[in-house]
Every structure is written in C-alpha cells, then in structure tokens.
Amino acid sequence: MSEAVSRRRVLGVGAGAALTGAAAGVAGTYAAQQAQASPAPAGAGAGGQDLAAAVPFHGEHQAGIVTPAQDRMHFVALDVTTDDRAQLVEMLRAWTRAAERMTAGAEAAPGGVVGGGPYGVPQDTGEAFDLPPSGLTVTIGFGPSLFDGRFGLSDRRPEAFADLPAFMGDDLDPARCGGDIAIQACAHDPQVAVHAVRNLVRIGFGTVSVRWSQLGFGRTSSTSRSQATARNMFGFKDGTNNVKAEDAGALREHVWVQPEDVPGAAAWMAGGTYLVARRIRMHIEIWDRTTLQEQEQIIGRTKGEGAPLGQKRELDRVDFAKQGTDGEPAIPVEAHVRLAHADNLKGVRLLRRGYNFTDGTDGVGHLDAGLFFIAFCRDAVKQFVPMQRALAAKDGLNEYIEHTGSAVFACPPGVRPGGFWGEALLS
C-alpha cells in the first residue's frame, strides 16, 4: 500500500481492495471499484453533492455529456503540434489511462505525487492529492482541423462536421476559436477539474499545445430531472426545457449520432455527439440597469420563478399564442425563449451544458463576464446553426451580449476498458 495511489487519503479507509487493484494497474476498473468501495461521503459540494462519488469513465458514450451537470468546468482547446499520427495515438492512449485514474479519484499515474522518489519529477502535479473524485468527468472532442490531411483523416470527417458559419453580430477573437482537440473537465470542485486538464496538457507537451482555455465557475443548465435549473449571469434560470438524461428518446433523436448519420469511413462517430462551444460575453453592467419588466420581456420568462410569461410555474408549457391584457402576445415576438424554442425551429433541440464565467476585467472598468455556452447535438448544422441564425437575427438579448469565441468538436463515442479515446477513428 505504499504506492499511495489514491489522491484522497480518506479513500484508503476500508477501500484496500480497490486500492490494491488500482495499484496493480488494472486499467479501467477504478471507477467501478471506487464506486463500490467508497460509500461514505467524504463531504458535500456547494450544491450538496456527494464528493466521494466517482462517475464511471467507461461506457457506450463519453461521460460529461448527459452526466448531471457538475458545478465547475475547465475547458481547453489544443493544437496538435506534430504531424506524426503514431505520436498522436500514443498521447490519446496515455490521456485515457490518466483520465481513468483521475476520474476515479486516483493520481494521474501510480505513485504520481511522491512515489517517484526525491530525485524524480513527480508524474502528477499534486494539487488534487487529498481531494475526492468530486464527480470528475473528462470529455474529449476533435476539431474539424484535425481532419485536414496531416494525419490521413480527411476521408473520415463526417459530412455534417465542419466549422460553424459566421453569424450576424459575431465579434470573434481568433485566439478564442477553433482547435484540433478539446478537453472538457467538469467536477464539483474546481481544483479537481483544473488538475485534470493540467495533467493531460502536461502529458501532451511535444504533441499538443494549449490554444485557448476557459474556466466556468457555475453551471447554468440542468441535464437531469434530479437537478434544479441553475441561473446564468443575467439572473435568469437557464435551460429549463433542456434535453434531460432521463429522456432516452430525445437523446437518440437530438444528441447521439446514429449509425445511419455516419456511413462508411465516418462510422467511428456513431454513438458520439457534436459539441458546440460559444463564449458569450455578457454586458452585465448594462443589463443590471434594465428594469425587471424589460428583462423579463427580453427573456420571455419571469425572473423569480422562471415561468413562461403568461404562466405560473417554471415547468408550465410555453404558450406562444397566449395574449396579455393589452392584446399583445404574452411572450414578445423577439423574446429569447420564443426564438430558441423547438416549436419555432421545426422541432430542433440541443442538450445545453454551459457555465458562467468571469475572466477578470475588460480593461476599461467592467467585468469580463458571461456564459460559456456548450451544447451537444446530433448534427450541429441542422440543430445549432438554425437556432443561432434565428437568435442572431432577432434576439432582444443581442443588445447585451457578444459572441467572442466559437468552436465545434466531434466527441467520439465512449471508451471501453482497455481501449482509448478516438480508437475507432485512428485505428
């Protein structure tokens, strides 16, 4: 037991079997073992989550998509700096092994923090050594640029997968756009999420370099019926009508890429999903000077309860036909909920999983705050693009927001024990 594989000492109590298994390097079994071996909560997160709980890494789909949205996120987009496909594969294998361990609450490598002796460089950076799994998930995606021919993948790019078009009003900073590979790490503890990204980036030195990075300090969406709807930086509940983990039919229809979507060389993507990321700067200072009535009219919901205008409760049906006492539609024609609603977009829905951010200041006396919008969908061109076109053209919110970053990534299906991220793509 001197290997000290657990980065959380409390796991060692009564978890000997699990730890021995992990120490022996039984790839892919940590999560299951840890889940069985650590029933005692190590503490609770800000939202009352059981921090000792680990989210299984392996499965049909990647974790971190329909997983009930954790409180914190660290997202990073990377450029691949080598042309050597074998080196890329080697890194993805190493990443997978490290992520298996970290999501189970273990160090990135066995004995990673202090087990390498006084003269070795620690293989794990150590800041999560004493922390529980904290619901960590690590999700990866491949950008369209990865299929540009450097790695012989151009024929494997799914037809529906391309860079997003420009939208009206975009104010994109090239330094916050695109990337060959993305890592989304979510956890109930920000330190655990950052630790995961940091260690994967480190493993990747020589193969990838960081292109841009985004921290999210609070979830805005609920992705499970077990969760309350969280609020965004405008103070409104965000994502009430989200696709939920419990709705298998909706996930099939709107989130998971189906085999028929990706025939031939693109078949590796079946069971995957497309991740759309948009960094939306919110001019919160201006918004905060807006009357409650105007705020509610712009969003189309009440601020307190989150009910659709004209209704009483948050989960009441959104009724676009309903009129107010003045004879005007209760939900204005340019209200955000109206434009973004499936009823007005030929049934299109997304699984939203965004996070609030505040990145210091804009240098002229304001906070650089907003929403890091993340959505998962079966086809970004058919789902996200029409929705964003509608919003970009008319949304009353546009006066208060600016899209400053944009990217789309193809998240491959889940990893089976012994396998690695992107195996079907790169084998």
> Which chain residues interact with another protein by CB under 8 A?
81, 116-121, 202, 205-207, 209
Neighbouring C-alpha atoms within 13 Å toward the C-beta of 406? 19
CB 203 to another protein: min, Å:
9
**CA 132 – CA 105 distance, rounded (Å):** 6
- Residue 57, SS3? coil
Considering the complex, what minimum distance in angstroms separates the CB of residue 100 from another protein? 21
- Could you give the CA distance from residue 2 to residue 23 in angstroms, rounded to a whole number? 9
Alpha-carbon distance 66 to 306, whole Å? 23
Closest to another protein by CB, 154 or 209:
209
Nearer to another protein, 84 or 148 (CB): 84
Chain centroid to CA 205: 23
Residue for token digits 């997304």?
350
Within 8 A by CB and 6+ apart from 224, the residues are 66, 68, 69, 244, 245, 246
Q: What is the rounded radius of gyration, in angstroms, for the C-alpha atoms of the chain?
A: 22
Report the candidate in 338, 370, 371, 379 with the shortest Cα–Cα distance to residue 353: 371
User: Measured between alpha carbons, how far is 103 from 64 in angstroms, rounded to an integer?
Assistant: 11
Please report how close the Cβ of residue 199 comes to another protein at its closest, in angstroms.
Answer: 12
Of 100, 110, 112, the closest CA to residue 136 belongs to 100
- In sequence order, what are the residues at sequence separation of 6 or more whose Cβ sits closer than 8 angstroms to the Cβ of residue 379? 160, 257, 261, 274
Least gap, CB of 181 to another protein (angstroms): 14
CA distance 291 to 315: 24
202 versus 416: smaller Cβ distance to another protein: 202
Residue among 16 and 206 whose Cβ is closer to another protein:
206
Identity of the residue, 118 or 327, whose beta carbon is nearer to another protein in the bound complex:
118
Query: Please, which residue, 206 or 324, has the CB nearer to another protein?
Result: 206
CB closer to another protein out of 121 and 364? 121
Q: CB nearer to another protein: give 108 or 282.
A: 108
Least Å distance, CB 117 to another protein, is: 7
**DSSP-derived pairing of the beta strands 351-352 and 273-282:** unpaired
Nearest to 384 by CA among 254, 248, 251: 254
Least CB distance to another protein at residue 205 (A): 4
**Closer residue to another protein (CB): 125 or 241:** 125
User: Nearest approach, Cβ of 121 to another protein (angstroms)?
Assistant: 5
Please, are residues 342 and 377 in contact by the beta-carbon 8 Å criterion? Answer: no
Beta carbon of residue 206, minimum distance to another protein (angstroms, whole number): 3
Nearest to 240 by CA among 326, 181, 317, 343: 317
H/E stretch holding 86 reads helix 85-103
State the maximum Cα–Cα separation within the chain, in Å, rounded to a whole number.
77
Smallest separation, CB 208 to another protein (Å): 9
The residue among 175 and 315 lying less far from another protein, judged by its C-beta, is 175
* Nearest distance, CB of residue 81 and another protein, angstroms: 5
